[in-house]
Amino acid sequence: MTSAIVPLETFLDLPAHARLLGLDLGTKTIGLALSDLERQIATPLETIQRVKFGLDAAALLKIAAKHQVAGLVIGLPLNMDGTEGPRVQSTRAFVRNLAPLTDLPIVFWDERMSTLAVTRTLLDADASRAKRAAVVDKMAAAYILQGALDRLGRLAFTETDEDGMND
Can you give the pTM of this predicted structure?
0.85
pLDDT at 73: 97
Where are the chain's structural domains? 8-161
Angstrom distance (rounded) from CA 156 to CA 115: 28
CATH T-level topology, domain 8-161: Nucleotidyltransferase; domain 5 (3.30.420)
φ/ψ region of 68 (left if φ > 0, alpha if ψ in -120 to 50, else beta) reads: left
Span 102-109, mean pLDDT? 96
- pLDDT tens-digit map of 66-79: 999 999 999 998 87
